[in-house]
């Protein structure tokens, strides 16, 4: 079963998003900030990361994406924000995210985005061999 880490400072958003992914058959964990996220990333294997761009504390979503991309190059990273536009999308992709979605998004949009991604790095590695 693929595993997803959802990083968002809004409890309700974390809970709703986690519930959507659980219904779709994914295992989910959540983090409210960068410190919690990196603790979980260092101690668990995730196939997907869903990161809100606006977070409290020392690191925002773009910072997290850059650092995770260096730590775990095969993880599939989705970013989202209430802000949209070509500039934001370009920044997110340059930072290392694989996809970007604007809030509010529907369950259908979220699931479609996830379904476009490879199932997980382990399956991808096995298929390549």
Residue 74 · residue 121 · CB < 8 Å: yes
What's the number of domains the chain is made of? 1
CATH number for 60? 3.40.50.2300
Query: Which of 4-8, 81-85, 86-90, 115-119 has the highest average model confidence (pLDDT)?
Result: 4-8
Query: In which domain, by residue range, is 8 found?
Result: 3-128
Higher pLDDT, 114 or 32: 32
SS3 of the chain: CCEEEEECCCHHHHHHHHHHHHHCCCEEEEECCHHHHHHHHHHCCCCEEEEECCCCCCCCHHHHHHHHHHHCCCCEEEEEECCCCHHHHHHHHHHCCCEEEECCCCHHHHHHHHHCCCCCHHHHHHHHC
Taking only the tens place, the pLDDT of each residue in 34-65 is 999 999 999 999 999 999 999 998 999 999 99
Q: pTM for the complete prediction?
A: 0.87
């Amino acid at each position: 079963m693929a595993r997803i880490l959802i990083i968002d400072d809004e409890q309700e958003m974390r809970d709703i998003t986690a519930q959507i992914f659980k219904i779709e058959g994914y295992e989910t964990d959540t983090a409210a900030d960068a410190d919690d996220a990196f603790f979980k990333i260092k101690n668990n294997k995730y196939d997907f990361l869903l990161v809100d761009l606006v977070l409290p504390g020392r690191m925002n979503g773009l910072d997290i994406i850059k650092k995770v991309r260096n730590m775990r190059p095969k993880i599939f990273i989705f970013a989202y924000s209430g802000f949209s536009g070509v500039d934001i999308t370009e920044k997110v992709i340059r930072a290392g995210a694989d996809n970007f979605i604007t809030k509010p998004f529907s369950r259908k949009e979220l699931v479609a985005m996830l379904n476009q991604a490879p199932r997980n790095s382990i399956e991808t590695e096995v298929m390549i061999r």
